[in-house]
Chains A and B, each alone.
Chain A
Amino acid sequence: MAKTKQQLSPIEIAAKKYARYRDPLIMVLHEIQTTRGYIPREAAFEIAKLLNVPLARIYEVITFYNYFRLKSPGKAVISVCTGTACHLKGADKLVKEFSEELDIEPGQTTDDGLFHLQSVRCVGCCGLAPVVVINEKTYGKLQPSQVPHVIAEWKEKFETETADAAS
């Protein structure tokens, strides 16, 4: 029986999506990087298998481009889209707001390792501009005034997770 869409892993979906490309590897890696904030080793293994590319080649690509990271940059990776549509809708204000609230520059991680801020190119849902993606959650039409709220939401999530783990 063919797997339904829900059963496919995010990497399988990405691999399908870019299957027709001449070099789907970069596209798939790009997608993992944007959603996860880095390329976990298990993801690299999965890509190797799905695309039939040697792992060594994947790491050559990952380490060649500054864009890709091998270590988790923070527990929550905040990707502010600065593509054209989002730019026109004031993406830079969002970057500035996150920057000030968290006291880090884009490309940096907070001292507690919880938040990593980065700006990314078009994430493909311009209709929702300005867009911010945090881990796998997408925030559309986000206003700078909502930023403190979003940060609080993630902090709370981490706190309950830690409490759950402790009990």
Chain B
Amino acid sequence: MINLKINNIDVRVPEGATILEAANKAGLWIPTLCKHPDLGPTAACGICVVKIKGAKNMVRACASPAEEGMEVTTHDPELVRVRRTTLEMILSNHPNECLTCARNGTCELQDLAEEFSVRERLLPPIVPDISTDDSTRTIVLDPRKCIKCGRCVTVCQQKQDVWALSFLERGLETRIAPAGDIGLGDSPCIRCGQCSAHCPVGAIYEYDETARIWEALQYPKKYCVVQIAPAVRVSLGEAFGREPGENLTGQIYSALRRMGFDAVFDTNFGADVTIMEEAAEFVERIKQGNGSLPLITTCCPSWVDFMEKYHSDMMEHFSSCKSPHAIIGTLSKTYYADKMGLDPKDVFTVSIMPCTSKKYEITRSSSMFASGLQDVDVSITTREFSRMVRQDGLIIEQLNADEKPDSILGEYSGAGTIFGASGGVMEAALRTAQYQITGDENAELEFKEIRGLQGVKVMETKVGDKNIRVAVAHGLGNVETVLNEVRAALRQGQESPYHFVEVMACPGGCVGGGGQAWKVDNKIREKRIEGLYRDDRKQRIRRSYQNTSIRRLYEDFLNEPLSAKAKELLHTSYTARPQYQR
């Protein structure tokens, strides 16, 4: 441990802690801009400067280690002046476009300009002439607004291991772009949106499709159907000043009805369907024996895209089951439309997702048109939805917290709701697979070892007389080690070290998705995760196969998991894809 004094306050921090961390521990607030709590320092902006007694120069608190006996000053008139000057330098290269910016009201640079009373701009800013890039149709890059903090590049290269984004040129010319100034849509980008979730300013944001929804809602002939993903309910409130993790399921259903949706469904029900199919696949593969294992989950389209571009040798281990939201889309235009006597052509399906990648998933292959039409018409993110709520004049406090979803694609089990957290898909699948293998209705319900934020989580559990070994990874940079262990074993004809592998692209799983409320760190992710497990504990039914709407779906329509009809409607296939289109 190290002892130092910050503004005359004694602080003790572990060896290796930065001055910034020490100051936070002492309850002091130093402004930062380029530093993100998830990432190491790039020391690019200079806003966090502090003074150290006896040192000639000011140092950057985010990148300087705390040392024994140090005496640090974090605030005095001179530091305020230096920080303000630094800020003005940054602003001299930043466009004056707050009014039309995607981050208006949530921008970290805007916050600082406000904090430091910047009231005039002496010279018009010098802004590079670079056009926006919306070629992925999921996220939009506006490099003119980039302050070159490096967060997105670090996330894309180090955390996600995708290497789609890079810093090209240097000095004033530095800009974010894929290799060789191609569109991001032609690059290896897997559309996870983590770059946007980490960007402090309006340089990377979601591709907004709310206008298409308003249009459909006012068109009388359209029968508008909507679904919300698990992770949305525990993050939406943040945009309205609520605590992360607060569960607003009822309020969201109620808001959607007021907006004019004809049917309000829940992706959690789709998750229960996914589990029925995936657990059946798992049981089948266990019967087939070693070579066919592990089974790897596929509900995350960014992970699917990553695998198709970087790990296509593992394709045969991929679950063919579609993701929950794709399943609700298909069933809305088949099963539900049938029951209601609707012409599927009139059904307009919207999904509200924590995810930018779902915008891509809805057209990724021909199986996304299993109903004969595009199964999900529009997919929007939590952030887009929060704006729709405000545009519609809705006030969270006045919405009904006990509102229920519509039958027959709405009722969900606790297993469905935990899909939004890393480890949740695995836990949900095990709850049903155990029953399918042993017939035991009261087997283990909670698998705490695979919950939480650790990058790779492994567990061994007994199902019947078999030991089942599972691995859970989130953040794509954590996937390779798991896959390599599997590859090595299979190559030598040995049993795979894991029977079942779950992967989600985003840190923490979908709760940390690229389309969730802005300004996230692990503390917030944890609260969202806890919100989902709370929802799970609250449910009377916590195993997918016990959900009566699920039973009805199979009795009335699908017959049984992996039936011909289930395969036709609810399953998909994969194909190796080039990393670069150009």
Total A-B residue pairs with C-beta atoms closer than 8 Å? 36
B170 near A56 with CB under 8 A, answer no
Taken together as a complex, chains A and B put the C-alpha atoms of A57 and B162 apart, in Å, by: 11
Given the known inter-chain contacts A56-B157, A59-B168, A60-B168, please indicate yes or no for A70 contacting B163, CB distance below 8 A.
no
B369, CB-defined interface residue at 8 Å: no
Contacts of A51-87 to chain B: CB distance below 8 A: 54-60, 63-64, 70
Given the known inter-chain contacts A44-B180, A70-B180, please indicate yes or no for A55 contacting B163, CB distance below 8 A.
yes
Contact with B along A38-57 (1 / 0, CB 8 A): 00010011000000001111
- Name the A residues within 8 Å of B168 (CB-CB): 59-60, 63
- Name the A residues within 8 Å of B580 (CB-CB): 45, 55
B178, CB-defined interface residue at 8 Å: yes
Tell me, rounded to whole Å, the shortest Cβ–Cβ distance linking A39 to chain B.
10
Q: Which residue of A lies closest to B177 (CB)?
A: A59
Taken together as a complex, chains A and B put the C-alpha atoms of A70 and B179 apart, in Å, by: 11
Tell me, rounded to whole Å, the shortest Cβ–Cβ distance linking B368 to chain A.
29
Q: Give the contact-size bracket for chain B.
A: 10 to 19
Instruction: Give the residue of A41, A45, A59, A70 whose beta carbon is less than 8 angstroms from that of B166.
Output: A59
Instruction: Give the residue of B164, B165, B169 whose beta carbon is less than 8 angstroms from that of A63.
Output: B169
Tell me, rounded to whole Å, the shortest Cβ–Cβ distance linking A48 to chain B.
9
Taken together as a complex, chains A and B put the C-alpha atoms of A55 and B167 apart, in Å, by: 12
Taken together as a complex, chains A and B put the C-alpha atoms of A55 and B163 apart, in Å, by: 8
A54 near B180 with CB under 8 A, answer no
Q: Which residue of B lies closest to A45 (CB)?
A: B580
Tell me, rounded to whole Å, the shortest Cβ–Cβ distance linking A25 to chain B.
13
- Name the B residues within 8 Å of A63 (CB-CB): 168-170
- Name the B residues within 8 Å of A56 (CB-CB): 157, 163-166, 178-179
Contacts of B282-296 to chain A: CB distance below 8 A: none
A-side interface mostly: helix
B-side interface mostly: loop
B170 near A44 with CB under 8 A, answer no
Given the known inter-chain contacts A54-B157, A55-B580, please indicate yes or no for A41 contacting B167, CB distance below 8 A.
no
Taken together as a complex, chains A and B put the C-alpha atoms of A64 and B168 apart, in Å, by: 7
Q: Which residue of B lies closest to A65 (CB)?
A: B170
- Name the A residues within 8 Å of B166 (CB-CB): 56-57, 59-60
Taken together as a complex, chains A and B put the C-alpha atoms of A86 and B167 apart, in Å, by: 37
Contact with A along B180-197 (1 / 0, CB 8 A): 100000000000000000
Taken together as a complex, chains A and B put the C-alpha atoms of A44 and B178 apart, in Å, by: 14
- Name the A residues within 8 Å of B179 (CB-CB): 44, 54-56, 58-59
Taken together as a complex, chains A and B put the C-alpha atoms of A60 and B166 apart, in Å, by: 7
Taken together as a complex, chains A and B put the C-alpha atoms of A59 and B180 apart, in Å, by: 6
- Name the A residues within 8 Å of B167 (CB-CB): 60
Taken together as a complex, chains A and B put the C-alpha atoms of A161 and B52 apart, in Å, by: 69
Taken together as a complex, chains A and B put the C-alpha atoms of A22 and B169 apart, in Å, by: 23
Taken together as a complex, chains A and B put the C-alpha atoms of A66 and B180 apart, in Å, by: 15
28 A–B pairs (Cβ distance < 8 Å), ordered by A: A41-B180, A44-B179, A44-B180, A45-B580, A54-B157, A54-B163, A55-B163, A55-B179, A55-B180, A55-B579, A55-B580, A56-B157, A56-B164, A56-B179, A57-B163, A57-B166, A58-B179, A59-B166, A59-B168, A59-B179, A59-B180, A60-B166, A60-B167, A60-B168, A63-B169, A63-B170, A64-B170, A70-B180
Name A's B-contacting residues (CB within 8 A): 41, 44-45, 54-60, 63-64, 70
Name B's A-contacting residues (CB within 8 A): 157, 163-170, 178-180, 579-580
Known: A55-B179, A56-B157, A59-B179. 10 other contacts (CB 8 A): A44-B180, A54-B163, A55-B163, A55-B579, A56-B164, A56-B179, A57-B166, A63-B169, A63-B170, A64-B170
